[in-house]
């Protein structure tokens, strides 16, 4: 798989590492609401096995936070999108929020449908896209795929456990529940395959707000890891090296907390404070 560089996208994207606070200060979801600007907010539960339960949960939270126009985008099956195109739901939407579950479901249901064309079009015109957990991972050009319960190792093969995401955020491979599931090795394996891409790992109850100017700032309780493969001087990743132990020189790693950020254009972290 190759991850091409694209022109910057035009909406704002909020990526959340999962398990965002829904009861207390609700820092991150409040930011989602603020950025949606009071317009209709669509909750997309495509990743979930329990879409109705998720809809009810987020409906309650977002309503509590003052959103009056809430819509549920539920797609059980890709065929539904052929029979009846539900994309009218996006016509005047200010934001779409993707809930968690299985990120592959988001891509297989949405990819190559009129609904996705509409979503991308609206996004390019400034609509906010937000996603938590699997809903965040699906936004990248490539998605990391779970390898099951096998023993953790540092094999080259880690670089191949990827599939195509929606590509709304180019240049990024996004991982979530990061500290909680100790996933940094798989993120590093992923950038080994294409050092041009940036890997970001987002902790639970932590989010990044990626602006159209390609700068993102971190908010929330945890950390965001950024693994930059741009300066890699050696990697042994190739089809032939499957089964071998990974070897990789000169990965640049940043650990970002609330109030710091990263510029995807210059590939530099920065200290900042939220507005």
Q: Does 245 bind a copy of itself (CB under 8 A)?
A: yes
Q: Does 71 bind a copy of itself (CB under 8 A)?
A: no
Q: Which of residues 161-200 bind a copy of itself (CB under 8 A)?
A: 179-180, 182, 184-185, 188, 192
The question of whether 177 is a catalytic residue gets the answer yes
Q: Does 248 bind a copy of itself (CB under 8 A)?
A: yes
Q: Does 256 bind a copy of itself (CB under 8 A)?
A: yes
* Token reading at 3: 């991850």
Q: Does 95 bind a copy of itself (CB under 8 A)?
A: no
Q: Give me the catalytic one of 133, 141, 171, 193.
A: 133
Work out how close the CB of 206 gets to a copy of itself at its nearest, in angstroms, rounded to a whole number: 8
The question of whether 254 is a catalytic residue gets the answer no
Strands (E), 69-168: 70-73, 95-98, 128-132, 140-144, 162-164
Work out how close the CB of 209 gets to a copy of itself at its nearest, in angstroms, rounded to a whole number: 16
Strands (E), 153-247: 162-164, 169-175, 198-202, 206-210, 215-220, 224-228, 234-235
Work out how close the CB of 138 gets to a copy of itself at its nearest, in angstroms, rounded to a whole number: 24
Give the largest CA-CA distance in the chain.
55
Judged by DSSP in three states, 8 sits in coil
Q: Give me the catalytic one of 23, 150, 151, 239.
A: 151
With CB under 8 A, what is the number of residues at the site for a copy of itself? 36
Q: Measure CA 133 to chain center.
A: 7
- Closest alpha carbon to 160 in 241, 88, 97, 98: 241
* Torsion on CA atoms 254, 260, 262, 267, rounded to nearest 10: -50
- Specify burial of residue 135 (Cβ count, 10 A radius: 0-12, 13-18, 19+): buried
Q: Which stretch binds a copy of itself (CB under 8 A): 3-11, 49-57, 111-119, 146-154?
A: 146-154
Work out how close the CB of 159 gets to a copy of itself at its nearest, in angstroms, rounded to a whole number: 11
Q: Does 258 bind a copy of itself (CB under 8 A)?
A: yes
The question of whether 211 is a catalytic residue gets the answer no
């Amino acid at each position: 798989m190759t991850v091409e560089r694209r022109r910057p996208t035009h909406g704002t994207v909020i990526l959340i590492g999962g398990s965002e606070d829904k009861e207390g200060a609700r820092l991150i979801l409040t930011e989602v609401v603020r950025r949606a600007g009071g317009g209709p907010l669509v909750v997309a539960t495509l990743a979930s096995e329990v879409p109705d339960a998720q809809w009810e949960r987020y409906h309650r939270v977002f309503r509590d936070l003052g959103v009056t126009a809430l819509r549920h985008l539920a797609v059980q099956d890709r065929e539904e999108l052929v029979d009846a195109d539900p994309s009218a739901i996006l016509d005047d939407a200010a934001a779409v929020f993707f809930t968690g579950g299985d990120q592959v479901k988001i891509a297989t249901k949405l990819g190559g449908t009129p609904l996705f064309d509409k979503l991308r079009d609206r996004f390019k015109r400034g609509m906010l896209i937000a996603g938590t957990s699997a809903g965040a991972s699906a936004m990248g050009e490539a998605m990391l795929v779970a390898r099951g319960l096998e023993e953790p190792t540092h094999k080259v093969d880690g670089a191949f456990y990827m599939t195509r995401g929606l590509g709304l955020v180019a240049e990024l491979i996004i991982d979530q529940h990061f500290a909680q599931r100790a996933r940094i090795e798989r993120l590093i394996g992923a950038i080994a395959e294409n050092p041009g891409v940036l890997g970001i790992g987002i902790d639970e109850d932590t989010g990044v707000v990626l602006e159209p100017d390609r700068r993102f700032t971190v908010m929330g309780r945890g950390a965001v890891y950024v693994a930059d493969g741009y300066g890699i001087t050696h990697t042994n990743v190739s089809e032939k090296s499957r089964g071998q132990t990974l070897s990789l020189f000169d990965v640049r790693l940043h650990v970002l907390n609330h109030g710091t950020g990263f510029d995807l254009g210059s590939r530099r972290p920065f200290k900042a404070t939220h507005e």
